């Protein structure tokens, strides 16, 4: 079977950078006079988190969680496990959970519950991509850069088998086998 290939660019590097600046400005306005802690999820959100952090003018700390997602015995997705926990306490802090993509919502809901149990002063979600059409569990997304169609995308942290994370742009991956092999 042929490897999937990039079908088209969905958002150029310039569009992504511009949109991150806009969202960062919104966050700065909302958190004026406060200190923020950005919590990233390894590895996908690292690229977005660093780009966002560089545009913030409010004081910001950074910490990371690592997770692994897996299906249950019947093959249904949605099970998440913490593989690497935060380094520091978040008690009493203003936390912004930074995600690469909120798709079904399972991962984000799990992370929200995990973080909420640690007693932060506030907890909000910022995601690079949102695919609201595939949502199964509702999660409150406070900041989003783009809502995207129901296609598999890569770039700016998003991977296919750990590849493509380092693209400066976001692209649709063609997952269909070519017609003659179908
Ligand atoms: P959830 O379905 O909201 O739990 O999303 C789980 C995870 O699936 C995300 O954090 C991504 O790592 C991955 N994911 C979902 N959609 C895509 C995509 O289009 N490209 C790459 N990874 C994706
Ligand atoms: Mg992934």
Average pLDDT per consecutive 10 residues, the chain (182 residues; last block may be shorter) = 88 98 98 98 97 98 92 72 96 98 96 97 98 97 98 97 97 81 52
Rounded to the nearest angstrom, the distance between the alpha carbon of 64 and the centre of ligand 1 is 17
Q: So what's the pLDDT on residue 165?
A: 98
Ligand 1 proximity of 100 Cβ (cutoff 6 Å): yes
Dihedral-angle region of residue 78 (phi above 0 means left; psi in -120 to 50 means alpha; beta otherwise): left
pTM: 0.93
Query: Which residue minimizes the CA distance to atom 13 of ligand 1?
Result: 101
Dihedral-angle region of residue 167 (phi above 0 means left; psi in -120 to 50 means alpha; beta otherwise): beta
The two structure tokens encoding residue 11? 């958002």
Q: So what's the pLDDT on residue 175?
A: 85
Ligand 1 proximity of 12 Cβ (cutoff 6 Å): no
Kindly report whether the peptide bond that precedes residue 43 is cis, defined as omega within 30 degrees of 0: yes
Q: How far apart are CA 173 and CA 138, in angstroms?
A: 26
125: how many CB neighbours lie within 10 A of its CB? 21
Rounded to the nearest angstrom, the distance between the alpha carbon of 178 and the centre of ligand 1 is 24
Q: So what's the pLDDT on residue 180?
A: 63
Query: Which residue minimizes the CA distance to atom 17 of ligand 1?
Result: 152
Q: So what's the pLDDT on residue 79?
A: 84
Q: So what's the pLDDT on residue 181?
A: 54
Q: Is 103 a catalytic residue?
A: yes
Return the exposure string of 85-108: e unless at least 16 CB atoms fall within 10 Å of the residue's CB, then b: ebeeebeebbbbbbbbbbbebbbb
């Amino acid at each position: 079977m042929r490897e999937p290939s990039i079908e088209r660019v969905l958002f150029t590097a310039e569009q992504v950078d511009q949109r991150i600046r806009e969202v960062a400005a919104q966050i700065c306005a909302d958190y004026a006079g406060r200190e923020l802690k950005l919590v990233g999820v390894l590895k996908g959100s690292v690229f977005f988190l660093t780009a966002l952090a560089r545009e913030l003018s409010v004081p910001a700390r950074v910490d990371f969680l690592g997770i692994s997602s897996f299906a249950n015995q019947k093959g249904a997705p949605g099970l998440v496990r913490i593989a690497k926990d935060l380094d520091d306490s978040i008690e009493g802090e203003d936390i912004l959970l930074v995600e690469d993509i909120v798709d079904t919502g399972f991962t984000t809901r799990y992370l929200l519950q995990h973080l909420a149990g640690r007693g932060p002063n506030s907890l909000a979600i910022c995601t690079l991509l949102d695919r609201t059409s595939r949502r199964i569990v509702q999660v409150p997304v406070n900041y989003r850069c783009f809502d995207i169609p129901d296609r598999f995308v890569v770039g700016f942290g998003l991977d296919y088998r750990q590849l493509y994370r380092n693209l400066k742009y976001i692209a649709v991956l063609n997952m269909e086998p070519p017609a003659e092999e179908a």
